[in-house]
Structure 1
Amino acid sequence: MVRPAKLLFIPRALLIFSVSLGFFVGSKLQATSFKLVAIGDSLTEEYTFEIPFSYPGARNWVEILHAERPSEFSMGAYDSRYLSYPDRRNGGYEFNYGIPGYTTRDWEEVLYDPGSFSLHRFTRNALDSDLQIVDAALIFLGGNDLKSNYTGIYADPVPPPFLADIPPRIIKLHSYIRNHAPAGFPIIIATLPDISATPDITGNATYQDPARAIIARQRIASVNASLIGLASALPDTYIARIDSLTDRIHDQSPFELNGTEFTYFKLPEGNSNPPLHLFTHDGFHPNTAGQALLANEILKAINQFAQPPIPLMENREILSDVLAQNPDQPYLDWAGTRGGPNDNPDGDALPNLMEFLLATDPSLPNAAFTFSSDGTASYLPDASASRYATLTPLQSATLNNDWVPVPPSRLQNLPDGTIRILPSSTDKKLFYIHQAVPNP
């Protein structure tokens, strides 16, 4: 893995650089396991039990957190047998009540049905018992509600009435948990995932009118705004912004983590789930990378009240540990046979990593900065390479290891991406260094 590279630049004089290369060593905090119970649908149910769409290889946020944060996070004991619980659960972790296909209305029936239908009653009894021994509860629903009549969300002249029913129904589920859990018990409400971000919707010929697609997205955002407003007024209640991820999928093209790009489109055939595909082969459920990012949104909500906080998964960890990919692949693809990030084939004092970030030719001498007559220094970072690493200008008046970041007030971003370092009003002479750090 690549570590920071530094380039010292002395205006109109000597170029000096120092590069250090090694491995980032990640550490995971050791803490008492945080216990979570969740009621949800197929986004919460372990993908192990959701063949065929999740087979082979895909994992969901529950499975990922147990693998990556085993000492910090728990949803109880694991049972690998199908139908091993005498209630609605298929199997898996004992505090996981993810039921594929369930809507908020289905869960309302489970929790409030006064009858004695055994699976409802057994599910309630098991959940009531679990609420006494866990640290928090998560309500993660709504995707199936939206899917049940997405055509109406997209095409109806006014928002379908069922949309307005979703937030109060989730709050009713919240009330059930509040009434059956200890006082002060934290409850997390997840916002609805905007299913219009999925290839199953965007690739459907029925939904190709851009104006209607925008309206559908606005209507779903309105539901989430209503839900957030209701949840924010409740004590000991926290919000997991699942919609922030689906917004990102909508708006970021290409979708990438530290410069590693993911394929968005639905696989044309077959049942494989390649790690760099954002969705599983059904075009609706997030593949492992998307589920890892969902896990982070849930951890953000947990960390609003849990002590100690559970470390989020950084992009490098998701790429390397969760997806078994090389997080330095963007640099390696550029470098080819040019050598490692420390190498300097053209002898211009710009190591390869710096050439990559500045989009300069490593076989020809290049300058890292240009200067104007008033002392302004300029450089143009490559937008694509900058997704992989961050280029930070530092300054010193003495070259005595007193490097500090150039103040933001003296950095000017031009429309073409050029960054100008404006002269200091107090220091007559400054030296500059560029520090390149692979993004975490």
Structure 2
Amino acid sequence: MAFAAKAAPLRILAIGDSMTEEYAYELTFSAPDSDQFNANVRNWPELLRLFRPAEATLGPFESTGGSYLDLRDAGHEWNFGIPGMTMVFWKNLLYNTPSNDDDEKVVKYAYGVTRNALENQLPSAQVVVILLGANDLKKEYNDLFNNTEDPNFLNDLVHTYLNQIYAWVRFLRPNVPIVVCTVPDVGATPQISGTYNIPAKQASTRAKIAAFNQSIITWAAGKTTNPPAIARIDLLTDRLFDEHPFQLNATVFTLPGHPENLPTRVFCKDGFHIATMAQALVANEIMATINTKLGTNLTLFSNREILQNLLGLNPDQPYLTWISAAGLTGSPMDADPDRDGIPNVAEYALGTPPNSFSRPFTGSFAPGRSFSWHPDPIGLRFASLTAEESANLTTWAPVPAARTSTAGDGTVSVTPAVGSRSFVRVQALAKP
């Protein structure tokens, strides 16, 4: 008898700061005020352990505080996420060159034992993830904002400190795949944006940090032997700056934290550390980068999984609120109460009422003509509208992008292929 071997979870070793240390041991910001010893937000290593245990692991889990005798408290054996650590401090730890920085005095007493633990665990790793830099930017943000920073500050972060951290890992593990994360723009955090809120200076500081992250990408591309892959964590803070409101599948999230760490908040109650939803997006970026680098198939978190399984929210709530407002509480997405041939979920995406006859489509799918509709931008957050064509009303395929156009006002138009007879339909589906 033959049995298929079950693949072991991918072994990930992480080098980071409080964004990577398990939030279970960061109770000052991860626990609600009403239960200050029970964290109710999770970060990306915890999310992998809880929801992807068969696919990825950061090692055996020690749940008792003080389990490690180094700078870590407890948590995963291959997770070296240490609160307060900067790129500068990590370089000093690895090369045994601590400075007299007042902040470093708190952690440097255990540099040697932490470095030894890291050396002992590094051989277990199938991939190393380096996620650092937010603390460096936080410490210097006032100067960055006011253009008084050392002119070499950002360049040194990449070409001195990050490069030496990378070189240390590469020396001990010449062939291990390494993922280096870009640095989140801390100016997007409520803790910092609440103070540094002059629009022109915000824009110039954001441009500096964007250029800094581009220099990380350029630095990585310059490595000729087994270069690191880059996980674009900065894209998340770009979204926080630019998406108003910030939403997943039409479920709206509020940026500032709440004393109870409510699931619909982007940040924890301290206003600096991102909460579970945003950590899931970080996990997705890291997993996607690992998949590209290693050819693995780690399963990313869909928006619906984040909402329902990670946050305990109803991913269909935006639809349920909309259909109730129309006086049709509980009417299913595939129902057509007004009998206009358009199911409720399509009415939502089109912005047409589900309780009165609508004709949202214009034109025709005929030679020299086009078939058009105008979707509702808010409805499209929840559901997709896909034009499909068929020659026989049995087999359907999406209308190719070359025959699909979107006007400036959002109107979508599709045209048939030249010289062939076909039919068109618009399919509406709730987003995954």
Q: TM-score, normalised by structure 1?
A: 0.87
Matched residue, 1:104: 87
1:167 equivalent among 130, 134, 158: 158
2:61 equivalent among 78, 92, 95: 78
- Deviation per residue, 1:194-232 (Å, 9 max, x gap): 10111112222xx22211111101111121122221122
Structure 1 residues 304, 327: closer, same or farther in 2, change over 3 A? Answer: same
2:243 equivalent among 244, 252, 263: 252
Secondary structure, counterpart of 1:149 in structure 2: helix
Superposition CA RMSD, Å: 2.0
1:302 lines up with 2:308 in the alignment: no
1:215 lines up with 2:204 in the alignment: yes
- Deviation per residue, 1:274-295 (Å, 9 max, x gap): 1110111111110100000011
Residues 177 and 294, structure 2, Cα contact 8 Å, conserved in 1? no
The letter of the residue matching 1:363 is N
2:72 equivalent among 69, 72, 89: 89
Residues 200 and 266, structure 1, Cα contact 8 Å, conserved in 2? no
1:63 equivalent among 43, 46, 56: 46
Residues 384 and 428, structure 2, Cα contact 8 Å, conserved in 1? yes
Structure 1 residues 175, 203: closer, same or farther in 2, change over 3 A? Answer: same
Residues 389 and 436, structure 1, Cα contact 8 Å, conserved in 2? yes
Secondary structure, counterpart of 2:29 in structure 1: coil
Q: Give the superposition deviation at 1:79.
A: 1.1
2:306 equivalent among 318, 321, 324: 318
1:367 lines up with 2:364 in the alignment: no
Structure 1 residues 114, 101: closer, same or farther in 2, change over 3 A? Answer: closer
Q: Give the superposition deviation at 1:160.
A: 4.3
Q: Give the superposition deviation at 1:82.
A: 1.6
1:139 lines up with 2:127 in the alignment: no
- Deviation per residue, 1:62-81 (Å, 9 max, x gap): 10111110011111111112
Matched residue, 1:23: none
Secondary structure, counterpart of 1:272 in structure 2: coil
| Count of aligned residue pairs for this structure pair | 403
Secondary structure, counterpart of 1:122 in structure 2: helix
Cα distance in 2 for residues equivalent to 1:313 and 1:40: 22
Q: Mean Cα displacement is larger for which, 157-166 or 102-111?
A: 157-166
Q: Mean Cα displacement is larger for which, 96-105 or 304-313?
A: 304-313
Q: Give the superposition deviation at 1:309.
A: 2.1
Cα distance in 2 for residues equivalent to 1:40 and 1:357: 41
1:405 lines up with 2:398 in the alignment: yes
2:375 equivalent among 375, 381, 389: 381
Percent identity over the alignment? 40
Residues 413 and 419, structure 1, Cα contact 8 Å, conserved in 2? yes
Structure 1 residues 160, 279: closer, same or farther in 2, change over 3 A? Answer: farther
Higher normalized contact order (CA 8 Å, seq sep 6+, divided by chain length): 1
Q: Give the superposition deviation at 1:392.
A: 0.8
Stretches of 4+ aligned residues off by more than 6 angstroms: none
Residues 41 and 99, structure 1, Cα contact 8 Å, conserved in 2? yes
**Mapping of 1:272-287 within 5 angstroms?**
272-287=260-275
- Deviation per residue, 1:309-342 (Å, 9 max, x gap): 2111111111111111111122111111521112
Secondary structure, counterpart of 1:245 in structure 2: helix
Matched residue, 1:436: 428
Residues 393 and 405, structure 1, Cα contact 8 Å, conserved in 2? yes
Residues 153 and 160, structure 1, Cα contact 8 Å, conserved in 2? no
Cα distance in 1 for residues equivalent to 2:97 and 2:334: 69
Q: Give the superposition deviation at 1:157.
A: 5.7
**Mapping of 1:117-128 within 5 angstroms?**
119-128=110-119
Residues 152 and 160, structure 1, Cα contact 8 Å, conserved in 2? no
Matched residue, 1:41: 17
Q: TM-score, normalised by structure 2?
A: 0.89
Structure 1 residues 375, 230: closer, same or farther in 2, change over 3 A? Answer: closer
Matched residue, 2:36: none
Cα distance in 2 for residues equivalent to 1:410 and 1:307: 33
Cα distance in 1 for residues equivalent to 2:417 and 2:297: 41
2:26 equivalent among 45, 50, 66: 50
Residues 390 and 423, structure 2, Cα contact 8 Å, conserved in 1? yes
Q: Give the superposition deviation at 1:158.
A: 6.7
Cα distance in 2 for residues equivalent to 1:358 and 1:138: 43
Cα distance in 2 for residues equivalent to 1:163 and 1:375: 55
1:415 lines up with 2:412 in the alignment: no
Cα distance in 1 for residues equivalent to 2:351 and 2:182: 40
Q: Mean Cα displacement is larger for which, 414-423 or 134-143?
A: 414-423
Secondary structure, counterpart of 1:361 in structure 2: coil
Cα distance in 1 for residues equivalent to 2:301 and 2:7: 16
Consecutive unaligned residues of structure 1, counting only runs of 5 or more, are 1-29
Structure 1 residues 61, 348: closer, same or farther in 2, change over 3 A? Answer: same
Q: Give the superposition deviation at 1:395.
A: 2.0
Residues 247 and 253, structure 2, Cα contact 8 Å, conserved in 1? yes
Structure 1 residues 130, 248: closer, same or farther in 2, change over 3 A? Answer: same
The letter of the residue matching 1:90 is D
Consecutive unaligned residues of structure 2, counting only runs of 5 or more, are 1-5, 33-39, 99-107
Matched residue, 1:15: none
